[in-house]
Structure 1
């Protein structure tokens, strides 16, 4: 099995909310019918609108949604129906083959226990991060720092209850932005607007500063901040389909 990440762009005159509603309505089922499984949608909707200040932008316009799924093979000859489903649900899409590492599984707020029937929304919110490694260090050096140092900082300095690293293996579509990785982290809704919640330091200014400083120093050691697209999203899990 191989994991695919796809970024989806909305039609120019369609709102994010309408675009997201259209994706929720039919895209997961279309992908499963095309041979995908374990489908997850990350949408920029009204629930996460208070976190707009957290957005980091490289692409213009920026992607409005992300879909994640698994396939027996992501080779082009086996993606025909999947690509057609993605194209039918977006103005444009870009896709990548990734290697997933589940650092913190979501055992605290599993989707099935926190949603109304048919809604499939995970509690809290998800930071969906397309990141690019610094050009002045090798890919091997960037991955070594990410895995050996930054992973510990991200666990210890944040209130994340899910943390998944996806190292990009190769682009699957022509013209896909040259990202290095996709990272998904889930937080309480309050973390959208309260940095102290985000950095797990409510009521503790000293801990907040220490956690913020540790995170920023670690990020700057391997990430090119001029080529990132980081968006707050609502996470919808359709792993039950198929």
Structure 2
């Protein structure tokens, strides 16, 4: 089984609501019909909330419409999945990833197809050229991941996708696609609840250079729909 992550932009003239509705009503059924084992859609509709400050949407993240995760028996069967997403009319970048779940959501109460409670913070970034693969993964996985529990003490779940390779021509050279969730949007909006102490924030800035450059980070905020879970 393999996991593919698609980063979508909106078609010119489409609202985020129109993108969401077409994704869930048209593309998602086609993807499942094509044999997807599981499907999750993160729609960046919360990024347009007036309480979100522009500086909280980093880099290319402000242009994301959705991030769609698809599980297939083999990536060789991805053509109809990609076609269903391309039919939405916007840009589509696809990646083969290795998924790790350092913090699982263990108290899910909602059904497949329903909007998940809370908010997803999605962050993507490339590997800095100055780092070897070994140093990059040591900084991201071995150092930052355990530290992130101090950085975000109210976080609900954490999914870490390491990019194996891009699957579409011209896709940005991301090496990391991160999905972090909070139970309530208000938790994310309140810095005192989102972050730990001031000392933790200072340490976060210091350890960032071990795996990423701030200027290369891309961030958006999304609502999650687990259209079909692996255990459904």
Fold-level match, TM-score > 0.5? yes
Q: State how 1:49-88 maps to structure 2 within 5 Å.
A: 49=49, 50-53=51-54, 54-58=56-60, 62-75=63-76, 78-88=77-87
Q: Which runs of structure 1 show a deviation greater than 4 angstroms over 4 or more consecutive aligned residues?
A: none
Number of residues paired by the alignment? 227
Q: Which residue of 2 aligns with 1:129?
A: 123
- d(CA) in 2 for partners of 1:114 and 1:218? 36
User: Cα distance 1:142–1:236, how it changes in 2: closer, same or farther (>3 A)?
Assistant: same
Q: CA deviation at 1:104?
A: 0.5
Residue 43 of structure 1 is matched in structure 2 by: 43
SS in 2 for 1:237: strand
Contact 2:115 2:224 in 1 (8 A): yes
The 8 Å contact of residues 95 and 176 in structure 1, kept in 2 or not, is answered as yes
In the alignment, does 2:186 pair up with 1:197? no
- Give the drift of 1:90: 3.4
1:174 to 169, 176, 193: 169
| Structure 1 residue 46 displacement after superposition | 4.7
Deviation at 1:238, TM superposition (A): 1.3
How far apart are 1:191 and its partner, in Å?
Answer: 3.0
Show the counterpart of 2:179: 184
1:160 aligns with 2:155: yes
Other-structure match for 2:26: 26
8 A contact 1:52–1:232 mirrored in 2 = no
Please say if 1:232 is aligned against 2:228. Answer: no
* Cα offset, 1:214, TM superposition: 2.4
CA deviation after TM superposition for structure 1 residue 67, in Å: 0.3
Q: Alpha carbon RMSD of aligned pairs, Å?
A: 2.1
Gaps of 5+ in 2: none
- TM-score between the two structures when normalised by the length of structure 1: 0.86
Mapped contact 2:37–2:73 kept (Cα < 8 A): no
Q: Give the Cα–Cα distance (whole angstroms) in 2 for the partners of residues 240 and 136 of structure 1.
A: 38
Where does residue 143 of structure 1 map in the other structure? 137
Partner of 2:96: 97
Residue segments in structure 1 that go unaligned for 5+ positions in a row = 202-207
Q: What CA distance in whole angstroms lies between the structure 2 residues aligned with 1:3 and 1:24?
A: 19
